[in-house]
Structure 1
């Protein structure tokens, strides 16, 4: 019996939507050769991660084994799959493989961090393959909401694994490659050991719809509008951007793209050849000089992002354009859970201007890029794998997808981030657990989620902050009174006296009464001053403030 094993290990994307990072390995235990599938990010929120710029997967386990990493494969160019390549490349150092459009985006991200674009290799679609140690990997085209999305066909000494990436079954996707069941059936012929499969829409009961299904609805909506029309969608959804632009042209309007991400994605699509017939567009300057009823803006910011074009327009004006009463704003997108507050803020701001806001209205103006429940069943039955391993979803999605696979007569195993699964033999089994989590990009540095930095930031936000300074002479006697600086706390408390004055008086009394041993010991002195400051803040303003004590001694 061979001592070599085939393993699967999710480090991100299994138990959440976003931050995808998956590892496959083959070889002796603890000496497997490895490949990585996707290096994505997720986005912070002010409630749980204030001040954080991006959230990256914790790749400490991979970094410790970087000499065993054969390659990194990127399935498509969404941020939650490619967004971390520039940030993490130094720690992994393995060659990166992707198809042309995704490689173009990846090279841009690498360049932002000073990495050579030669680290990214452009590959062709299946049946061409890349050999990486014991693995042979091919990029199998599939439709999604961004061009050149691919599943991965991973041939191993123990059989074929198909990693679907994000996908939908769309025979007419407008931009990108159509769903081709014949090619997928050919891939399945040798037998599929494991299907590692997207779970995002497992709770959606109806079959997925094509991008072409919404074109007529969009045109009718735009044609009925009297003022300016503004539509937002994901910048990466080039097919939707094209659908919106074409609907606007058919309704007699000139099209203006606004937002750097929107223009960058369209330019990348043209450069890499996935988009050849995008309608002509006008500049923001020309749009400002065109009658409102003849203009349509297609803008970034479908998730309420504060710096995006939608939010800027909601704040008043952007690149000379301003919305007013009677204009129409369309969300041709679905709000990602967690972004509702930002989207509602934008909607209310437009409402106050008298702008009519329309959302996707149950699918009239938006279709998902992920396979719904019946589509997952179609995939299970077409591929006939030995096992389905759900990925790309919260725990509830993974669990439901696993139940669906079993109902379809396929064994399944649930593997959340950090769960190592052995795919060797006829039945998958958990082979161990890896400590995993999140890394925060905080400004220009990467910090651990458990380092305490964000925790301290949250505590200061919730409770305010007091800085206490004291000076002691060479005999450990106080020189003058302690003094305080307060941030994020009410200036006046229950005693109707300034909080700063009350704090300084209480701290001075403690300092004068403290014994010589306490004043001579920095740790004891700091502990006592913190205790008094927190008690005073609680008594005065009902907040147990964060306290920083600075003790200076004269020698």
Structure 2
């Protein structure tokens, strides 16, 4: 029996949707050579991560084992798969491989952090392969909602693995390669040890629809609109942006793209030859000079992002353009769970302006980029793996996908972030666990999710903040009265007296009663004053604020 093994270790993207980072290894236990598939981001929300810019996987384990890492392979250019490459590259320091469109996006992200574009190697699709230690890796074209998406064929001395990446089975995706079942069957014919597979839409019971089906519906809608038309979708969904632009052009409208991310994606698609034709676009300045009924805006912000074009148009003018009563706003996208509040807020703000809103509740103007349950079954039948490892999904998605695989006679394993799985035998086994978590980009600094910084920020937001200052003389006696500064707290309490006066009076009484042991010990003094402020605040306003005590001694 071989002493070497194949391991799979998700650090992000398993037990959640977003922040994808998957490690594969081959070798003796504890000495495996490693590759990383994808290094993406997730996005914060004001409820749980206020002030945070982006979130990505904690790669501490990879940093500790950096000398074993051979390469990074990026399956496609969505932010949740490539968005952290610039932030993490210095800690990884190995070659990055991607197809042309994805490589274009990755180089831009690396350049933002001063890394050489030569770090990224452009790879042609299968049958070209890359040798990385004991691994031989090839990019297998697959349809998705962004150009040049690829699954990965990962060959090891212990067997072949197929990592689907994000995918759908689309025979006509408008932009990018169609799904080729014969190609996938060909690479699988000699046996696949494990299929590591997208789980996002495992609960959707109907086969997925092709991107080409939405074009006619969108064109009909635009043609019937009496005034300006605005459409929003994912900036990375180049096929949908092209569909929207062509539908608008056929309806006799001039097309204007609003949002840096959308323009960047279209530019990358043209630069890499993914898109060979795109309707002529006009500038926002030109759009203001054309009759409203002759203009169509395609804008960023389909997920309610506060700084994107959709939100800014909902608030008022953006680049000199203002929406008016009778305009039409189309959401050609699905709202990702967790983003509902932001999207609904934009919709209501637009409605207050008299704008007519069309969303995708009926499924006419958007199709998912992920495989539905029947498509997952078809993929399993084509690849016919010995083992199915669900990935890219919340816990409920992974569990349901595992049950689906086992119900069809295949071994399955539920592996959330931090779970190391041994794929070497006939049955997958859990080989151990590593610390996994989240890293926050907070301004320009990376902080750990468990560092307490965001926790303290949330506590201040929920409870308010009091700064207490006291001065003690050379004899360790209070010099004057302590004073308080309040933030985020009401001025008056239940007694209708100023809250600050009540806190300062209670603190003065505490100091007057305090003995020498307390007055000479900063820790005891600070703890006592904090307790007084919190107890007094509870009595007056029913809240325990966060308290900072500043003690100054003259000696």
Instruction: Identify the TM-score tier after normalising by the shorter chain.
Output: over 0.9
State the alpha-carbon separation in 1 of the partners of residues 139 and 266 from structure 2: 23
For residue 301 of structure 1, give the secondary structure of its aligned residue in structure 2.
Answer: coil
User: Which position in structure 2 is the counterpart of 1:78?
Assistant: 78
Structure 1 residue 241: deviation in Å?
0.1
Displacement of 1:541 in angstroms is 1.0
Distance in 2 separating the partners of 1:460 and 1:295: 46
Q: For 1:455 and 1:319, how far apart are their aligned partners in 2?
A: 37
Residue in structure 2 matched with residue 306 of structure 1 by the alignment: 306
* SS at 1:52 equivalent: coil
Q: Deviations over 1:303-336 (max 9, x none)?
A: 1111111001001111111111110000000000
2:165 maps to what in 1?
Answer: 165
Structure 2 equivalent of residue 270 of structure 1 = 270
Compute the displacement of 1:496 (Å): 1.1
Runs (4+) of structure 1 exceeding 3 A deviation are none
SS at match of 2:125: coil
1:499-532 deviation digits (Å, cap 9, x = unpaired) = 1111111101101110011000001000000000
Q: In structure 1, what is the equivalent of residue 375 of structure 2?
A: 375
1:535-555 CA-partner distances (Å, limit 9, x unpaired): 111111111010000100011
Q: SS at the partner of 2:357?
A: strand
What secondary structure sits across from 2:505 in the alignment?
helix
User: More deviation in 424-433 or 230-239?
Assistant: 424-433
Q: CA deviation at 1:251?
A: 1.2
* Residue of structure 2 in register with 1:35 after alignment: 35
Query: 1:185-218, CA deviations, whole angstroms, 9 ceiling, x for partnerless residues?
Result: 1010111000000000000000000011011100
Structure-2 residue corresponding to 1:446: 446
TM superposition shift of 1:249: 1.0
CA distance in 2, matches of 1:542, 1:113: 47
Matches for 1:140-539 after TM superposition, within 5 Å: 140-539=140-539
Q: Is 1:417–1:436's contact at 8 Å kept on the other side of the alignment? A: yes
Query: What is the CA-CA distance between 1:362 and the residue it aligns to?
Result: 2.5
> Is the Cα contact below 8 Å between 1:314 and 1:346 reproduced in 2?
yes
Measured after TM superposition, the shift of residue 115 of structure 1 is: 1.1
2:88 aligns to what? Answer: 88
For 1:212 and 1:187, how far apart are their aligned partners in 2? 27
Gaps of 5+ in 2: none
1:92 Cα deviation (Å)?
Answer: 1.1
CA distance in 1, matches of 2:78, 2:221: 29
For 1:456 and 1:353, the matched residues in 2 are separated by: 38
d(CA) in 1 for partners of 2:401, 2:256: 41
Q: Distance in 1 between matches of 2:425 and 2:509?
A: 73
User: What are structure 1's unaligned runs of at least 5 residues?
Assistant: none
Counterpart in the other structure of 2:131: 131
| Aligned match of 2:548 | 548
Tell me the CA shift for residue 119 of structure 1.
1.1
The 8 Å contact of residues 381 and 408 in structure 1, kept in 2 or not, is answered as: no
The structural deviation recorded for 1:361 is 2.8
Give the SS at the match of 2:90: helix
Total equivalences in the alignment: 555
3-state SS in 1 of match to 2:532:
helix
Alignment partners' CA distance in 1, 2:527 and 2:376: 59
Distance 1:309 1:52 in 2: 20
Secondary structure of residue in 1 paired with 2:298: strand
Alpha-carbon distance in structure 1 between the residues aligned to 2:215 and 2:92: 43
SS in structure 2 at match of 1:106: helix
Distance 1:51 1:327 in 2: 34
Alignment of 1:46-57 (within 5 A): 46-57=46-57
Q: Any idea what SS the aligned residue of 2:42 has?
A: coil
Deviations 1:220-257 (A, max 9, x none): 10011001000000000000000001111111111111
| Residues 312 and 318, structure 1, Cα contact 8 Å, conserved in 2 | yes
CA distance in 1, matches of 2:456, 2:280: 51
Q: Secondary structure at the match of 1:281?
A: coil
What is the TM-score when the length of structure 1 is the normalising length? Answer: 0.99
1:407, 1:172 → 2: CA distance? 31
